[in-house]
Amino acid sequence: MYEGIKDRTIVRMIGRVRETSYIMLVFTPVLYNIVEPSTKYIISVIVFFPLFYFLFELVDRAIPDPRGIYDDTNKSNTLSELKI
């Protein structure tokens, strides 16, 4: 948290939502003693990470950004006129 407050480069690299979500997803069962941590489990977490990463990369590219949604629904106005 200290590094994030100081706006360090390392936080931008390792603090992305996709990576932190994956870590939380795979290690929450370990924290609640649902799954025993083992070498096989750790290896499967490492092997599955690229598949998880690229699957969500494809989803991220398929879902339009808010500007794209706005441009499709309101072609006459500009984004600066949008009142949220």
pLDDT tens for 52-81 read: 889 888 887 888 766 655 655 555 555 555
> pTM to 2 decimals?
0.56
Please tell me the predicted confidence (pLDDT) of residue 57. Answer: 84
What does the domain layout of the chain look like in residue ranges?
A: 2-76
CA distance 17 to 29: 19
Q: Average pLDDT over the chain, rounded to whole?
A: 77
Lowest mean pLDDT among 21-25, 31-35, 59-63: 59-63
Decide which of 20 and 33 is more confident: 33
Three-state SS for the chain is: CHHHHCCCHHHHHHCCHHHHHHHHHHHHHHHCCCCCCCHHHHHHHHHHHHHHHHHHHHHHHHCCCHHHHHHHHCCCCCHHHCCC
